[in-house]
Amino acid sequence: MAEWLLRPDMKTSGGETHDIVYDDRYVGMMALVYRENDRLTGAVQLEADELDERTKTEVLERVQRHVEATAEALGVDACDVIVTYAPYERIIVKPDDDFDIDWLDEDKLNDVNPYQQEDIEMDHGGTSLDGDEVSRSLPDYELVIVHEERGRVEYHIYDEEKDLAAEAFLTIRRGHVSGTVEWVYDPLDEEIDEATELIVNDFDADDIETFSLAMVFGDELIDTVELKRNDLLEEEEKRTAVSGDRDDYSIVLVRDDGDVLTYEIYQQSRGGLPIGTATVDISNRQLTGFIDFREPGGADDRELIAMLLMEELDKEKEYDSFNVTMMVNNKLIDEILFETENVH
């Protein structure tokens, strides 16, 4: 009979991480963050390539029993642990005294937010007491190895002032890196992205392909990052490809009719003259709109303009998708659908 075990990776007064081992094989990781007599939250990532349906069910039952026992020992009032096996597979919830399992299929993921915050928008800046907006610049992080042994590595992440921003405790198994990143402060999404990129780039591309990182601040799991190295490389190549041209365009909001926004698009290399007008319906979370160009231009330029328009829409509304139709003299020339990623 195959044996399973939770191999402790790290444990503190406010949380713990484990490697999940089945039949002497690494099959996933579990990160739990808790506050005694209050709440337990966390994430479990299972390796789809290592588990078939039968063994996945067995491992999940064992994991759930561990979560239940931990919650009971802590006397917590609320418990939610997200389990992923590619898409979200189940959520273990303890709203009162009884545990409940909610199975999710892929179609439901667009409508369900496991943290119950679908309508809450995070402001990446802030507001002072007198109402003025306060921006927070992104630091230039430095990654430093402070401890390393077979299959394990610990990093400190410092900001440009040489102050500690986060600590990372990672385990390396069979081409996969998993672990937790414990932040000194509540990070912005961009700061999580920057720290993740530093960690990923510190590993040899020939040896490591996938990463599972639990982002923790205080006693709360604030984010989970699941990615393949190729995903990050493709995103970097895309940013590099458009970074030289994006300054050539300006997107300016010229009219706000409540549920309909109108933007003028300007191109600096054409004397700063308008080259098109965008009209977007923001009445629901699936945004739709069209751009009426003076001239068709190239496909890459149109895609860049649509991405810049999305950046402006980010300032106005939280949304799930953006479908934009592109025309010249009322003649359809292109159509692009963007879907936002849930995440980080």
Instruction: Determine the Cα angle at 197 with ends 191 and 198, to 5°.
Output: 95
Write phi, then psi, for 71 (nearest 5 degrees).
Answer: -60, -40
Tell me the Ramachandran region of residue 67: left when phi exceeds 0, alpha when psi lies from -120 to 50, beta otherwise: alpha
Tell me which of 2.60.40.10, 1.10.287.1080, 3.40.630.30, 1.10.150.20 is the CATH number of domain 246-339. Answer: 3.40.630.30
Q: Would you list the domain boundaries of the chain? A: 4-107, 138-241, 246-339
Secondary structure E strands in 115-219: 126-127, 133-134, 142-149, 152-158, 164-173, 176-183, 210-217
Q: Classify 248 in phi/psi space as left (phi over 0), alpha (psi -120 to 50) or beta.
A: alpha
CATH no., domain 4-107: 3.40.630
Q: Which of 215, 212, 143 is nearest to 177 (CA)?
A: 212
Class of residue 186 by CB neighbours under 10 A (exposed 0-12, middle 13-18, buried 19+):
exposed
Give, for all 344 residues of the chain, the pLDDT tens digit. Answer: 457 788 887 777 778 888 888 887 888 888 888 887 788 888 888 887 777 878 888 888 888 888 888 888 888 878 888 888 764 445 555 554 555 544 444 343 334 333 333 332 333 333 333 333 334 445 688 999 988 888 899 999 998 888 899 999 999 888 888 899 999 998 888 888 889 889 988 888 778 878 888 999 988 888 888 877 665 555 555 554 444 477 888 899 988 888 899 999 998 887 778 899 999 999 888 999 999 998 888 888 888 899 899 989 988 888 888 899 999 877 888 888 887 654 33
* Closest residue by Cα to residue 279 from 264, 268, 266: 264
Given this chain, do its domains 4-107 and 138-241 carry the same CATH topology?
yes
Does 3.40.630 match the CATH number of domain 138-241? yes
Classify residue 340 by its DSSP letter.
Answer: P
